[in-house]
C-alpha cells in the first residue's frame, strides 16, 4: 500500500496547459533540461533563462488571463523541468514532498501528507527591492491635488531644512486616519507630448501647447509618524529621502502591495512614450524607473512587458535635437534624414494609474532617453 501511495506523490508535477510548439516560442540556445529555483530568482529571471522572449513565459505554461494575474507559486527549492515531446516543449514544476524529505521514515508515516512551505516566500515577478519605494509613491494626482492635505508647519527653532529624526509641527491631521503618513510636495506636470515636440523642448518644459496633460506628479520626500494629535499636531520624521520644508504636505501612508503578475505582453497593440524618469537623469539604463504616457485607460496593467524603441534624433546647427523631420531656424533650413527607430530594451510595468504608468527597465541594448517610444513587443 505504501508503495502505491509513494508512486502517486513522489513527484508532484504542477502542469499548466498543453505542450507549446517550439517554433512559436523561441528557447535559449543553452537551454537547461532542469533548473532548481534559488533565493533571489524572479519570474523574469526564470523566463530569461529558458526563453529568448521573456514576456512569452505564460505561453509556455499555458496560463490563462486569471492565472497571469495570480500566477502559480514557485518557491526556492522547486525544480523546473523541460519536457520535449512530439508536439513541442513544455515546462513542468516538480515540488519536493514529505517522501523526499523523510524517505528513511516513510514506512512509519501513516497517512502520508505533503509538507507545505511555511515561512517561505514565493519568488516575485521582478526584484521587489528595486521597486518597493515606488509601490506607494510617487503619486500621480489631479491639479492642486495636495492643496487640502495636512500641512507641514516647521520646527520651533525656525530651521528651514527638515530631515529624519526631527520633531515637527503639522496642521489639519485627522485623528481617525492613523498615525503613519508620507510627506510630498507638488512635482512636474506629466505631459503626453505632441509628436513634433523635440527632446530639447520637452526637457526644457516648453513646446507643450499641443500636449495633453495626463496628471501631476507628487514628489515623495519621506515618512512621518504622529506623536501627538491636536489642532497643531506633533510628528516625527522617521525617513527622509529628500530635504523637507515648511509647506510640504502629508498623505496617509497606504499599505505596500505588489500584484505579482507573470510577465506578459498586452493582448492589444499599445503605443506610448517615456515621459519622465525618476531621479532627473537623461540617460536611462537597466534598473531605471520610467513614467509612461499610457495607463489603465489605454489597457495597460501590472505585469505588462513593453519594448522600448529609441527615437533617432539628429543634431541641428544650434545644438538642439530634432526628431527626423525638416527644420528651420530663420534663414537656415536643414533636411534631416529620417531613420527607422531601433529597439533599445524591455520594460516591466509595475504600477498603473488611469493615464500614466511606472515601469522598471529590465533589459537594454543601448541607452534609452525620455521621449523614446514604448509598444507591445
Residue 119 domain-assigned (yes or no): no
pLDDT of residue 33 exceeding 60: yes
Q: Are residues 84 and 154 in the same domain?
A: no
**Cell numbers of 152, please?**
507641514
Q: Are residues 281 and 220 in the same domain?
A: no
Q: Are residues 276 and 228 in the same domain?
A: no
* Category of 218 on φ-ψ map: left (φ > 0), alpha (ψ -120 to 50) or beta: beta
Q: Are residues 16 and 67 in the same domain?
A: yes
Q: Are residues 248 and 141 in the same domain?
A: yes
Contact 240, 220 (CB under 8 A): no
Domain boundary among 221, 252, 283: 252
Specify the pLDDT at position 317. 47
Sign of CA dihedral 259, 265, 271, 276: positive
Contact 201, 207 (CB under 8 A): yes
Specify the pLDDT at position 16. 42
User: Taking Cα atoms as reference points, which of 98, 198, 186 lies closest to residue 143?
Assistant: 186
Specify the pLDDT at position 119. 55
Q: Are residues 80 and 161 in the same domain?
A: no
Give me the residues paired with residue 35 across strands.
Answer: 80
The CA-based diameter of the chain, rounded to the nearest angstrom, is 94
Tell me how many domains the chain contains. Answer: 3
State the residue range of the domain holding 301: 271-375
Specify the pLDDT at position 269. 93
Radius of gyration of the chain (CA): 26
Q: Are residues 173 and 225 in the same domain?
A: yes
Q: State the CB neighbour count (10 A cutoff) for residue 94.
A: 17
Confidence of residue 4 (pLDDT cuts 50, 70, 90): very low
Q: Are residues 284 and 340 in the same domain?
A: yes
Q: Are residues 168 and 82 in the same domain?
A: no
Domain boundary among 224, 252, 280: 252
Contact 345, 374 (CB under 8 A): no
Pairing relation of β-strands 151-154 and 289-292?
unpaired
Give per-residue pLDDT as tens, 142-193.
778 888 899 999 988 878 899 999 999 999 999 998 999 999 998 888 888 7
- Chain centroid to Cα 71, Å, comes to 16
Question: For the chain, what is the mean pLDDT?
Answer: 76
Q: Are residues 278 and 241 in the same domain?
A: no
Q: Are residues 237 and 313 in the same domain?
A: no
**H-run or E-run covering 200:** helix 199-203
| 121-135, 186-200, 284-298: least confidently modelled range | 186-200
CA atoms within 13 A on the CB side of 319: 0
Residue 260 domain-assigned (yes or no): no
Q: Are residues 56 and 98 in the same domain?
A: yes
| pTM of the full structure | 0.72
According to DSSP, residue 242 is labeled S
Q: State the CB neighbour count (10 A cutoff) for residue 14.
A: 13
Residue whose grid cell is 499599445? 270
Residue 189 domain-assigned (yes or no): yes
Pairing relation of β-strands 332-334 and 327-329?
antiparallel
Specify the pLDDT at position 113. 41
Q: 27-31, 154-158, 347-351 — which one is most confidently predicted on average?
A: 347-351
Give per-residue pLDDT as tens, 253-280.
877 667 778 889 998 999 999 998 876 6
Residue 117 domain-assigned (yes or no): no
Residue 228 domain-assigned (yes or no): yes
Residue 125 domain-assigned (yes or no): no
Amino acid at each position: 500500500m505504501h508503495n502505491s501511495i509513494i508512486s502517486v506523490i513522489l513527484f508532484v508535477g504542477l502542469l499548466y496547459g498543453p505542450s507549446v510548439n517550439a517554433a512559436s516560442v523561441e528557447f535559449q540556445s543553452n537551454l537547461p533540461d532542469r533548473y532548481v529555483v534559488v533565493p533571489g530568482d524572479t519570474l523574469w529571471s526564470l523566463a530569461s533563462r529558458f526563453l529568448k522572449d521573456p514576456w512569452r513565459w505564460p505561453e509556455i505554461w499555458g496560463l490563462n488571463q486569471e492565472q497571469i494575474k495570480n500566477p502559480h507559486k514557485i518557491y526556492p527549492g522547486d525544480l523546473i523541468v523541460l519536457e520535449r515531446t512530439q508536439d513541442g516543449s513544455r515546462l513542468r514544476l516538480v515540488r519536493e514532498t514529505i517522501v523526499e524529505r523523510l524517505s528513511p521514515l516513510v514506512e512509519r508515516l501513516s497517512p502520508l501528507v505533503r509538507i507545505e512551505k511555511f515561512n517561505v516566500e514565493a519568488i516575485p515577478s521582478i526584484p521587489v527591492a528595486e521597486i518597493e519605494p515606488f509601490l506607494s509613491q510617487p503619486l500621480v494626482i489631479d491639479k492642486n491635488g495636495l492643496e487640502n492635505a495636512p500641512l507641514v508647519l516647521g520646527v520651533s527653532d525656525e530651521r528651514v531644512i527638515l530631515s529624519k529624526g526631527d520633531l515637527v509641527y503639522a496642521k489639519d491631521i485627522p485623528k481617525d486616519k492613523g498615525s503613519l503618513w508620507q510627506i510630498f510636495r507638488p512635482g512636474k506636470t506629466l505631459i503626453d507630448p505632441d509628436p513634433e515636440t523635440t527632446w530639447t523642448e520637452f526637457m526644457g518644459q516648453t513646446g507643450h501647447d499641443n500636449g495633453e496633460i495626463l496628471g501631476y506628479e507628487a514628489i515623495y520626500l519621506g515618512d512621518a509618524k504622529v506623536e501627538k494629535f491636536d489642532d497643531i499636531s506633533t510628528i516625527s520624521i522617521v525617513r527622509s529621502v529628500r530635504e523637507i520644508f515648511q509647506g510640504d504636505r502629508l498623505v496617509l501612508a497606504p499599505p505596500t502591495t505588489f500584484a505579482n503578475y507573470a510577465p506578459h505582453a498586452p493582448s492589444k497593440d499599445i503605443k506610448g512614450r517615456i515621459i519622465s524618469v525618476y531621479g532627473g537623469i537623461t540617460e536611462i539604463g537597466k534598473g531605471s524607473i520610467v513614467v509612461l504616457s499610457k495607463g489603465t485607460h489605454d489597457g495597460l496593467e501590472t505585469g505588462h512587458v513593453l519594448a522600448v524603441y529609441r527615437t533617432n534624433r539628429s543634431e541641428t546647427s544650434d545644438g538642439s535635437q530634432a526628431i527626423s523631420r525638416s527644420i528651420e531656424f530663420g534663414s537656415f533650413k536643414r533636411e534631416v534624414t529620417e531613420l527607422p527607430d531601433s529597439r533599445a530594451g524591455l520594460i516591466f510595468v509595475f504600477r498603473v494609474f488611469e493615464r500614466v504608468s511606472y515601469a522598471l527597465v529590465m533589459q537594454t541594448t543601448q541607452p534609452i532617453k525620455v521621449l523614446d517610444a514604448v509598444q507591445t513587443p
